[in-house]
Every structure is written in C-alpha cells, then in structure tokens.
Amino acid sequence: DVKVTQSSRYLVKRTGEKVFLECVQDMDHENMFWYRQDPGLGLRLIYFSYDVKMKEKGDIPEGYSVSREKKERFSLILESASTNQTSMYLCASSPSGGTNSYEQYFGPGTRLTVT
C-alpha cells in the first residue's frame, strides 16, 4: 500500500521566515511533486522531480525551491514566507514508465498559514 507522508498537517509561520515542508514516500517512486491547492484554482504544480537531485519548475515556482537528496524524500522550501503563500500544500509521488506513471499518490496535505 503506497504511503506518502507530510511532516506537518498544520503550520503557522510569520512573514519572512524560512519554511521547510517535508514529504516522504515509501514505494520507491521515481517521480515526486509539490502542489498548492487554493479555492477556485484547483491543484497548481510548484515543482517536480523525476530523480534524485533532479528538479523541474512547475507552473508557479516563484518564491519556492526544492531539494531531493534521497529518492524517498522531497522537500519544499519557502525562502522568505509571505502571506500570499498561505495555502494547502500537497505532495505526490508516482512510478516512472508506462501509464502507471500517470497515477499520482498524494499525501494528506499541509495547511500553511503565514501571518
């Protein structure tokens, strides 16, 4: 059973703080993703990674960076948190190769509030 875990369910940070969101998957998946979900805007891709130390920008990478030092772990970093980064953050993973790579497995999400 695929499991994707995220380090926190709820997080409150102050403007200007550096924020780390951690994601771990236990199914040896090559691909990992970070999304944010906002009302009326669906899921928007921030960054994704298809291998260790590899990363690609998604649709809204501004203000974010990522790190993937180990295959099972994908971290999202807010270098200097701002109030417009208040959102639900979702991590996902998928295997590589064939149509199985299209199905993504999501973590429970982290509700981040920046005050």
Partner 1 sequence: DQQVKQNSPSLSVQEGRISILNCDYTNSMFDYFLWYKKYPAEGPTFLISISSIKDKNEDGRFTVFLNKSAKHLSLHIVPSQPGDSAVYFCAATVNTNAGKSTFGDGTTLTVKP
Residues in the site for partner 1, rule: CB under 8 A? 4, 9, 31, 33, 35, 40-45, 48, 50, 56, 58, 90, 92, 94-96, 99, 101-109
Contact status, residue 73 vs residue 55, Cβ threshold 8 Å = no
Between residues 42 and 69, which has the closer beta carbon with respect to partner 1? 42
| Positive or negative torsion for Cα 99, 48, 6, 112 | negative
Between residues 25 and 75, which has the closer beta carbon with respect to partner 1? 25
Between residues 3 and 70, which has the closer beta carbon with respect to partner 1? 3
As measured in angstroms, the least distance from the Cβ of 16 to partner 1 is 28
Structure tokens belonging to residue 42 = 């669906």
Structure tokens belonging to residue 83 = 């109030």
Between residues 9 and 70, which has the closer beta carbon with respect to partner 1? 9
As measured in angstroms, the least distance from the Cβ of 37 to partner 1 is 8
CA 63 to chain centre: 13
Structure tokens belonging to residue 52 = 């260790």
Rounded to an integer, what distance in angstroms lies between the CA atom of residue 67 and that of residue 52? 9
As measured in angstroms, the least distance from the Cβ of 55 to partner 1 is 11
